[in-house]
Structure 1
């Protein structure tokens, strides 16, 4: 039987470098009062022996954990996973966040927390105590939950709030929802559409209101009335079906629809097919998010690409740059989305 390889410890590094354990600890934890030549010698021994510092040991020394925690809504995330409908929000967060963490020697974890729970503070407090992250990334609706932001501020943990412009503690980062909705609407108007319908997302998310505002602004700037062109959804496929039935069931139906996410756009596409409305000849359709769903529908959906990976990357960057200090910023960092044109949009048939 092969012998198990002995784990390399800080004692091995100290012996190889010919220095004290305290010196190795200061080098690992980027502490002060270490001469450059001594730091180089210890670092060379670490690389030679393949030593990986223990996170537990680092925490005991009071140093950084080099861990960034991202919080996502438990209920919606699990629902998306179980439906297996192609939502890749968590994948994209990990893509951007983990790669940026790796550049700086950090690790990233995602924790699911129920923002509706009466015990959200206790639940989050337990996670913070167990993991002791150097920073936290909040996604909607957590980014606007005062219980969560208040707890993080009280503990002086640096955190970034994605998808919100609401004032409060922490660093705010948005994906320019209003500007993206306006861009999509203006694109449809440029094709010659004058009756552009809109399907909103859940009111639980402030970004839903910003997307609606972008559509309304673009329509108003073009001198167009939006009466009977608005329908309420909640980001689910089923709500997209109901909203589309309302919009497309009118005698003077819209010739184009902007849906606030891909699942609702898919609902609109299926309703149009059932009603014999051809896409894009009779109805142009644009969705938000640009998840894998948008590429594999027939026709493929023109979509606003939400830069989730880039946003998560910028959030990690902001937390690392804070260097452990709780930072409140009056400015909102905007990471703009882009319009990906595919086969679901065209000039109106009788335009």
Structure 2
């Protein structure tokens, strides 16, 4: 079996030291353009691939970060806008810092645990970003055991570094907007209880009702998978027997499914039912009616998560730090604020501004 080229082979071919070759290959400063070109040419001639030969790098790193998304493919594709913006933020910082981002999809927490175990035991990655934490998240203990730097996007259960929105504030903000327009019978389509963000948004919904003196009713809280068809089914099942004047959906995809169900039953949005959701997307902007929604600023979530992770990798310190990115409410047609006023105009309010009662 032929031995693969090492960084020492590249350095020898280019006539430089191993440390200079490493700097050139990883896009670091301190190397002239001429030397960098010579090193890259040598690497190409020797068919050297630094991201698959971490043991040969001067610093022992792979320059690779694993992105674990423990969700179904159906969930991933139905929420494509959310993940696209999130991945862009992650990729932008990783690329700028000289790292490669590798995506791993897991259909369940157990599958994610197996993937993570394989990655950390083989030292195939320098660190991990994990999305969509659940209340079980069995893989977290495995990562801690190997002391691999990792950041969770979403609120994890237990101690871990994470970047998230305050999802209780998100649920509160959306519900409060409907209450301010006179609604008291507000249905809430939550996502699966296994996700921490779904539970947190439900808590925010309940808090807004309580503060306004509106009784909480369990019959108004429904759950669906985060796919359009399931949300449509849930609304069709509940609408004939439960009275409500407004609806809050935990995601834009669920809002679309809900509105579709209402339309099929002859109910018009926002004339008959007001709708607010979470997640700003092309879908929210261009759906008819356009959706009033809470913008989570997913690209910023990704940027902050990657910055935190790379700092841990390069400092050699595993931290437990939580960072919150502020969300904002974007007012469009579906809530009724713009209904009959020409529609289409957008108005944005930040979470802190909304909570303080300003603006």
The bucket for the TM-score relative to the shorter chain is 0.7 to 0.9
CA distance in 1 between counterparts of 2:226 and 2:20 reads 52
Summarize deviations over 1:275-316 as a string: whole Å, max 9, x none: 222111111101122233222321111111222221121111
> Which residue number corresponds to residue 161 of structure 1?
152
Of 84, 96, 113, which aligns to 1:103? 96
Q: Does the Cα contact within 8 Å between 2:70 and 2:112 map onto a contact in 1?
A: no
Question: Per the alignment, in what secondary structure is the counterpart of residue 154 of structure 1?
Answer: helix
2:276–2:334 contact (8 Å) kept in structure 1: yes
SS at match of 1:90: helix
Q: Is 1:230 equivalent to 2:225 in the alignment?
A: no
Is there any run of 5+ residues in structure 1 with no aligned partner, and where? Answer: 1-7, 31-38
Partner of 2:279: 289
2:184 to 194, 200, 212: 194
How far off its partner does 1:145 sit? 4.4
- Structure of greater relative contact order (alpha carbons < 8 Å, 6+ residues apart): 1
Separation in 2, partners of 1:22, 1:86 = 44
Cα gap change, 1:238/1:293 in structure 2, threshold over 3 Å: closer, same or farther?
Answer: same
The correspondence of residues 174-323 of structure 1 with structure 2, limited to 5 A, is: 174-227=164-217, 228-250=219-241, 253-323=243-313
Q: What TM-score, normalized to structure 2?
A: 0.79
Rounded Cα–Cα distance in structure 2 between residues aligned with 1:25 and 1:48: 10
Normalising by structure 1, we get a TM-score of 0.80
Equivalent pairs, count: 319
Change in CA separation of 1:186 and 1:60 when aligned onto 2, cut-off 3 Å: same
Q: Which region of structure 1 is more displaced relative to structure 2, 50-59 or 125-134?
A: 50-59
Do the aligned residues in 2 keep the contact of 1:247 with 1:254 (CA within 8 Å)? no
- Indicate yes or no: 2:52 matched with 1:59: no
Q: 1:86 to 1:137 in 2, by over 3 A?
A: closer
| Unaligned runs of at least 5 residues, structure 2 | 1-8, 44-48, 340-359
Superposition CA RMSD, Å: 2.9
Kept in 2: contact 1:305–1:339 (CA 8 A)? yes
Name the structure 2 match of 1:46: 35
Distance 1:260 1:27 in 2: 46
Question: 2-side partners of 1:226 and 1:276: how far apart?
Answer: 27
